[in-house]
């Protein structure tokens, strides 16, 4: 399927022209991010938790301690809503009312399930690691069996999904365009600063290129 099928929950009610259901466009947004917010109901009340994630094909993977309240709650089959947002710029209008933000966001509804097998769990953890910093997994020690058993990994199928995107300049009321104040877009992006070595780093170990040239754009 090249497009996600809109549902009652994923159909945009406000500004529907900003909706995006193309599968590859949605995946590009998910692949550029690495932090999501997971919303669910636990013990009778709403809860939203930020966490890292990884995508493999049409599945999203979440992980954490086997004692995690979020993961234990989701493993029981409760409905979940996962969101990912990338901020691309501040949209500065001539009126306070029309200020906005250029962004790309994805909303996922569904039910997560536990990844049981150690091999699939290791592959899911690799996907999460690669989502955050590609090529790191191949250099570090992989989780041992005890560590895998202490880690809970959930998989969420990407079925009920939509994206919402805003781009472009501010849209002012026609009569406000004569107001003598600067208007436009202030672009924003996630950028890495200079790496800080571990004080216990052994001599002679060089900085990997995937650290020195780290970027979230055009991944």
Q: Rounded to 5, what percent of the chain is helix, strand, coil?
A: 20, 35, 45
Residue 58 domain boundaries: 16-170
Pair 161, 26: CB distance under 8 Å: yes
Please report whether residue 72 resides in a domain.
yes
Distances (CA, A) of 16 to 28, 44, 164, 186, 215: 20, 32, 8, 25, 31
Say how many C-beta atoms besides its own lie within 10 A of residue 132's C-beta: 16
Please report whether residue 203 resides in a domain.
no
30 φ, ψ (degrees, to nearest 5) = -60, -40
Please report whether residue 114 resides in a domain.
yes
CATH code where residue 115 lies? 2.30.110.10
Please report whether residue 116 resides in a domain.
yes
Pair 170, 184: CB distance under 8 Å: yes
Domains of the chain: total: 1
- pLDDT 10s digits, 135-191: 999 999 999 989 998 999 999 999 999 999 999 999 999 999 999 999 999 999 999
Distances (CA, A) of 41 to 7, 15, 171: 21, 28, 38
Distances (CA, A) of 195 to 75, 139, 207, 214, 216: 37, 17, 9, 10, 16
- The DSSP annotation for 110-166 comes to EE-EE--SHHHHHHHHHHHHHHHSTT-TTTSPPP-HHHHHTEEEEEEE--EEEEEEE
Please report whether residue 80 resides in a domain.
yes
What mean pLDDT value characterizes the chain? 93
Whole-prediction pTM: 0.92
Please report whether residue 27 resides in a domain.
yes
pLDDT at 85 over 80: yes
pLDDT at 101 over 60: yes
Please report whether residue 57 resides in a domain.
yes
Please report whether residue 206 resides in a domain.
no
Residue 17 pLDDT: 81
1 falls in which pLDDT band (50, 70, 90)? low
């Amino acid at each position: 399927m090249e497009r996600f099928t809109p549902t009652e929950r994923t159909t945009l009610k406000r500004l529907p022209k900003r909706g995006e259901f193309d599968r590859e466009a949605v995946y590009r947004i998910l692949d550029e991010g690495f932090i999501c917010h997971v919303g669910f109901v636990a013990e009778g009340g709403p809860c939203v938790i930020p966490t890292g994630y990884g995508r493999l094909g049409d599945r999203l993977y979440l992980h954490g301690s086997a004692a995690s309240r979020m993961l234990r709650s989701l493993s029981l089959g409760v409905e979940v809503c996962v969101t990912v947002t990338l901020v691309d710029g501040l949209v500065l209008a001539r009126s306070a009312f029309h200020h906005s933000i250029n962004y790309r966001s994805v909303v996922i509804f569904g039910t997560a399930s536990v990844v049981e097998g150690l091999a699939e769990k290791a592959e899911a953890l690799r996907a999460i690691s690669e989502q955050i910093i590609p090529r790191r997994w191949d250099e570090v020690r992989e989780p041992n069996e005890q560590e895998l058993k202490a880690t809970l990994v959930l998989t969420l199928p990407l079925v009920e999904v939509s994206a919402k995107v805003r781009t472009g300049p501010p849209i002012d009321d026609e009569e406000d365009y004569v107001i003598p104040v600067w208007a436009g877009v202030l672009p924003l992006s996630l950028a890495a600063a200079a790496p800080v070595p571990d004080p216990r780093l052994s001599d002679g170990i060089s900085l990997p290129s995937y650290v020195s040239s780290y970027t979230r754009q055009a991944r």
